[in-house]
């Protein structure tokens, strides 16, 4: 079972990577929407398809994460404490990001879109702060791993 699952995962990873590479190449060489060429607001033709593909990958990731979390609870019920600690830490991290976030409407000349509203700006700020925190934690984990190797010898 494990060998088949690993093989399936590897094949799926390569297929998704190839599909992403195709979208990325089309994004840069696939032409632009008529009427936007040569302007500051030049828009590639595949932008909407690329965004939909990103949403599909996000939903797939969320579904697989939820599935394997529940599966892990069923197979290893003793690990639920660690999972709940991680969940609480994530909620605290999002809470701190929400306290730091700002929802001030931006002064954007020539912008007539509908996304310059406090709620969208607030959620964007929260997402950015969470991403910064996670990036910082990843760097700290890498540094800790490298340094701790020297003390374990």
Q: Is the pLDDT of residue 2 over 80?
A: no
Other C-beta atoms closer than 10 Å to the C-beta of 96 total 14
CA distance 100 to 94: 10
How many domains does the chain contain in total?
2
Same domain, 55 and 83: no
List, for residues 122-144, the tens digit of each pLDDT value. 999 999 999 999 999 999 999 99
Same domain, 91 and 137: yes
Residue-range definition of the domain harbouring residue 54: 1-75
Would you mind telling me the total number of residues written for the chain in this entry?
153
List, for residues 71-81, the tens digit of each pLDDT value. 888 888 888 88
Q: Percent of the chain having pLDDT more than 70? A: 99
Provide the token pair at 92.
């605290």
Domain end point (choices 56, 75, 94): 75
Same domain, 38 and 68: yes
How far from chain centre, in Å, is Cα 128? 10
Same domain, 93 and 132: yes
Same domain, 99 and 151: yes
| pTM for the model | 0.64
Phi/psi of residue 44, nearest 5 degrees: -60, 150
């Amino acid at each position: 079972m494990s060998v088949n699952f690993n093989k399936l995962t590897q094949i799926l990873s390569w297929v998704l990577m190839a599909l992403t590479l195709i979208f990325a190449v089309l994004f840069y060489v696939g032409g632009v929407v008529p009427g936007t060429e040569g302007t500051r607001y030049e828009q590639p033709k595949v932008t909407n398809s690329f965004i939909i593909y990103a949403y599909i990958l996000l939903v797939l990731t969320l579904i697989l994460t939820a599935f394997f979390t529940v599966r892990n609870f069923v197979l290893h019920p003793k690990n639920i404490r660690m999972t709940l600690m991680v969940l609480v830490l994530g909620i605290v991290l999002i809470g701190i990001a929400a306290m730091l976030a700002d929802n001030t409407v931006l002064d954007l000349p020539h912008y007539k879109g509908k996304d310059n509203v406090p709620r969208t700006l607030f959620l964007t700020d929260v997402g950015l702060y969470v991403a910064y925190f996670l990036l910082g934690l990843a760097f700290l984990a890498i540094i800790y791993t490298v340094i701790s190797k020297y003390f374990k010898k």
